[in-house]
Structure 1
Amino acid sequence: MAKRVVPEAGRRRRRPTKQGQVLTHRLIVETALRMLREHGAAGLTARRLGLALGADASTVYRYFRGMDDLILAIADELFGHAMADWRSTGDWRADLRDLGLRIHHAYQAHPQAAVLTASRVTGRPNEVASDETILGVLRGAGFPDADAVRIYHAFIDQSLAFAILDAATLALPRAAREADEEVWRDTYARLPRDTHPHIAATAPLLVARMNDSAYPTALDMLLSSASAQLKRPAPGE
């Protein structure tokens, strides 16, 4: 049977931790994010989280039904980071580009958390607010509902897919990440033209680009496709 979660008001009446802090849902989530950043997914346990908070491990379960519930809360917090202070410009394409880059940046700021959470669907307030905003931008631009949902689907999946891909690179040990980056210069750039003419012809460009995220380019391609669709006349017009 799921553990009972104590309402927020009830939690705040509890005495401070050994560190003098009164525990809150947000404090636990932010501490978990810090632990993921410093120790990775293997380092996030209820016991270690309790130690970091100066509280007993069982205290965490007054706020969350289990560690998976905490993971979903972390996922929602990242959407909250992405949407913080966002304002519409009235230009649908500029707004969607900004939203996509914000989501990607929020996950890259917490790569260990991104790998753990980007594939999850939380249905929680920040995620729901993000989805409402994206769909609102698309519908406000004049896309029919079926097209708005189709583009939204591609937009959010692209954002999260690149978030996982790029976060996985950032989450690698530094030596492994640097070794991977060197492959483009030490292997691809040295391939002979007679056996690999296309790689040899583009080697300087590959070396310059391939260690950077392709997300901004992919995002612009998706938005260009959507923009072209919006400008096409509907059947019968």
Structure 2
Amino acid sequence: MNLLSGSAGDEVFSMRKLAGELGADSSSLYRHFRNRTELMLAIVDHVLVQAMHDYRRQGSWRARLVDLALRSWDAYAALPQLAKDASHYPGSGPGSQLVIEETLQALGDAGVPEELIPEWYHRLMTLSVSLIAAHAARQTSGPAEQQRRLETFRVITVGADPEEYPALAHYSRHIKPTGFTRASFLATIELVLDAVPARQETSGTQ
């Protein structure tokens, strides 16, 4: 479905355009969903249901949190147009409930103090959603826009005055514009997990 998976230049998602992709009239969608928001909530949750279909609560608390994060990344990486919008829609169904439940369970099994579990859940979710959305925005930008972004970045880095910005001038040819790959997403998640106030070991099943 192009309106969900889309690449650069895809049109903005709408009930009318989705109906066209399905070969139906938009009125048929309104028989099931009152508005675009309801439809988007259902689609976002369906993506999470599919991402979690073979999930098993096994392994260390840390391995489980990494697994949950990567499942979300992989699901939305395949649907960048949807991922750009997904951060605006709260969890609303069984897929969302399962992700939340398993995140809270893993933090509890880590030995995080009970009063801190909601805070750490929020940190992990905010980080994951933000990085996934940022990646999606980059994926769906056109080649011309990406090239302009790269050229602008090169101007302010390679052209930096070494007297005023010595560190920037030194590393200018080795740094790139912000953007995330699956590997860098995982590395960022791992850094946050290092800070989780866990009281349990990460090896074996907790």
TM-score calculated relative to the size of structure 2 = 0.82
Distance 1:83 1:182 in 2: 40
Deviations for 1:52-93, whole angstroms, at most 9, x for unmatched residues?
A: 222222111122122211111122123224323223442111
Question: What is the one-letter code of the residue matched to 1:230?
Answer: A
Q: Where does residue 191 of structure 2 map in the other structure?
A: 221
Distance 2:189 2:80 in 1: 20
Question: What is the one-letter code of the residue matched to 1:164?
Answer: A
Distance 1:67 1:192, change over 3 A: same
Contact 1:184 1:206 in 2 (8 A): no
Do residues 135 (structure 1) and 104 (structure 2) align? yes
State the SS of the aligned residue for 2:89: coil
Residue 127 of structure 2: which of 135, 155, 158 is its match? 158
Q: Which has the higher helix share?
A: 1
Structure 2: runs of 5 or more not aligned: 201-206
Distance 1:68 1:210, change over 3 A: closer
- In the TM superposition, residue 41 of structure 1 has moved relative to its aligned partner by 5.5
Distance 1:49 1:92 in 2: 39
Question: What is the one-letter code of the residue matched to 1:144?
Answer: P
Q: Where does residue 204 of structure 2 map in the other structure?
A: none
Do residues 200 (structure 1) and 177 (structure 2) align? no
Matches within 5 A, 1:1-237: 31=1, 34-38=2-6, 40=10, 42=12, 44-207=13-176, 210-213=178-181, 214-226=184-196, 229-231=197-199
- In the TM superposition, residue 159 of structure 1 has moved relative to its aligned partner by 0.5
Question: What is the one-letter code of the residue matched to 1:216?
Answer: L
Structure 1: runs of 5 or more not aligned: 1-30, 233-237
Could you say what the CA RMSD is over the residues aligned between the two structures, in angstroms?
Answer: 2.4
Which structure ranks higher in relative contact order (CA pairs < 8 Å, sequence separation ≥ 6)?
2
Question: What is the one-letter code of the residue matched to 1:157?
Answer: T
- In the TM superposition, residue 211 of structure 1 has moved relative to its aligned partner by 4.3
Report the identity percentage: 28
TM-score calculated relative to the size of structure 1 = 0.73
Distance 1:189 1:81, change over 3 A: farther
Contact 2:108 2:117 in 1 (8 A): yes
